Amino acid sequence: MPGPSDSGNIVHRDYECRKFPMSVTDRCENDNKAFCLAWTSAAFLNEIALGFGPISLLAILFGVSTHSRRRRIWAAVAGLVSLQAICQISTFGIVTDTYLTSSFPSFERARPGTAYILHTLCWISSVLVAFGVLLTGISAGAGHRWAAGNRFYQPIP
């Protein structure tokens, strides 16, 4: 773990990447059990969110194969992107709470970095995409030409 040197600056002595948190090195079995559980859960949720992205793209590819599927696929895509956003927001919440409560000893000197900002932008864009797909799908079902294109649906009176 990095520690302050004589001048008060943090000195990093080991630049090798390692899995984090580790049960023995990061004292996950006794002192930091709650932190390690939260951090591992955040990593797991982020992996699940990462899986929903390609599944959403596959749903779009299958959905555009026929005209009848094209009318129904928006709900599945909006649901998958919403699940992705929910997992990302949960990860963001866990990491933010862990950072704000300083529940890991070396987090006292930590600051959110570029990855934190990119993750924030990622879940915000996921929410906006899910909302956009949902709005477009509902509007296409209602017969709006801007949402359904040249073959918009007109209900039979």
What gap in Å lies between CA 29 and CA 35, rounded to an integer?
A: 10
**What is the rounded distance in angstroms from the CA atom of residue 37 to the CA atom of residue 104?**
12
| Per-residue confidence in pLDDT tens, the chain, 157 aa | 444 555 556 555 666 766 666 665 556 777 777 777 888 888 899 999 999 999 999 988 888 777 667 677 888 899 999 999 999 999 999 988 888 886 666 666 667 788 889 999 999 999 999 999 899 888 877 777 766 666 555 566 6
ω into 21 cis (within 30 of 0): yes
pTM: 0.74
C-alpha–C-alpha distance, residues 52 and 82, integer Å: 9
Domain ranges of the chain: 33-144
